[in-house]
Amino acid sequence: MAFPESFLQELKMRNDITEIVSSYVSLKRRGRNMVGLCPFHGEKTPSFNIYTENGSFYCFGCGVGGDVISFIMKIENLDYVEAVKYLAQRAGMEVPENSYDDSMNRLRTRVFEANREAARFYNSALNSPIGAKGLEYFHGRALSDRTIRRFGLGFADDDWTSLCRHLHSKGFKDSEIVAANLGVKRRNGNGIYDRFTNRVMFPIIDLRGNVIAFGGRIMTNEKPKYLNTSDTPVFKKSANLFSLNNAKNSGSRTLILCEGYMDVISVNQAGFANAVATLGTALTSEQALLMKRYADEVIICYDADEAGQKATARAIPILRSAGLLIKVLTIPNGKDPDEFIRANGDDGPAAFKAVIEKSGNDVEYRLLKLKQNYNIETTEGKVAYLEAASKVVASISSPIERDVYSSKICNELGIDKNAFTQQIVNISKRQNRETAGKQLRKIQTDLSGRNDKINTEHYKKPRSSSAEEALVVYLINNPDSAEEISKSVNPEQFQNSLIRHYFKYFLTRIKSGLEPLTNVTADFTQDEASKLYEMLSQYIKAASTEEAMREYIKVINEESEKLSHEDIESMSADELKTYIDKIRKSKK
pLDDT tens for 103-131 read: 888 899 999 999 999 999 999 999 999 99
pLDDT of residue 572: 66
Q: Which of the two residues, 376 and 99, has the higher pLDDT score?
A: 376
pLDDT tens-place string over residues 395-418? 888 899 999 999 999 999 999 999
Alpha helices in 414-461 (DSSP H): 417-448
pLDDT of residue 335: 79
**Residue 100: pLDDT over 80:** no
pLDDT of residue 270: 96
Q: Which of the two residues, 539 and 373, has the higher pLDDT score?
A: 373
With pLDDT > 70 as the criterion, what percentage of the chain qualifies? 91
pLDDT of residue 445: 59
Mean predicted confidence (pLDDT) in 423-441: 82
pLDDT of residue 579: 57
**Strands 183-185 vs 192-194: parallel, antiparallel or unpaired:** antiparallel
pLDDT tens-place string over residues 207-248? 999 999 999 999 988 888 999 999 999 999 999 999 999 999
pLDDT of residue 456: 81
Band of residue 391 on the pLDDT scale cut at 50, 70, 90 = very high
**Residue 95: pLDDT over 70:** yes
Mean predicted confidence (pLDDT) in 52-65: 93
pLDDT of residue 460: 83
pLDDT of residue 458: 82
Mean predicted confidence (pLDDT) in 1-22: 92
Angle at 36 between CA 30 and CA 37, to 5 degrees: 150
Number of Cβ within a 10 Å radius of residue 439: 10
Q: Say if residue 316 is exposed, middle or buried (CB neighbours under 10 Å; 0-12, 13-18, 19+).
A: buried
385 vs 279, 358, 366, 420, 517, CA distance in Å? 36, 24, 12, 12, 58
pLDDT of residue 144: 97
Dist. CA 258–CA 270, nearest whole Å: 14
Dist. CA 246–CA 207, nearest whole Å: 8
Contact 291, 334 (CB under 8 A): no
pLDDT tens-place string over residues 488-509? 999 999 999 999 999 999 999 9
Mean predicted confidence (pLDDT) in 248-269: 95
Band of residue 280 on the pLDDT scale cut at 50, 70, 90 = confident
pTM value is 0.82
pLDDT tens-place string over residues 334-379? 778 999 999 999 999 999 999 999 999 999 999 998 999 999 999 9
pLDDT of residue 563: 56
Q: Which of the two residues, 434 and 326, has the higher pLDDT score?
A: 326
Average pLDDT, rounded, for the chain: 90
User: Which positions ≥6 away from 375 have C-beta within 8 Å?
Assistant: 381
pLDDT tens-place string over residues 464-482? 999 999 999 999 999 999 9
Kind plus residue range of the DSSP H or E element containing 104: helix 103-126
In which order are the strands placed within the sheet that holds 211-218? 154-156, 199-205, 211-218, 226-228
**Residue 531: pLDDT over 70:** yes
Band of residue 281 on the pLDDT scale cut at 50, 70, 90 = confident
**Residue 319: pLDDT over 70:** yes
Long-range contacts of 434-441 (CB under 8 A, 24+ apart): none
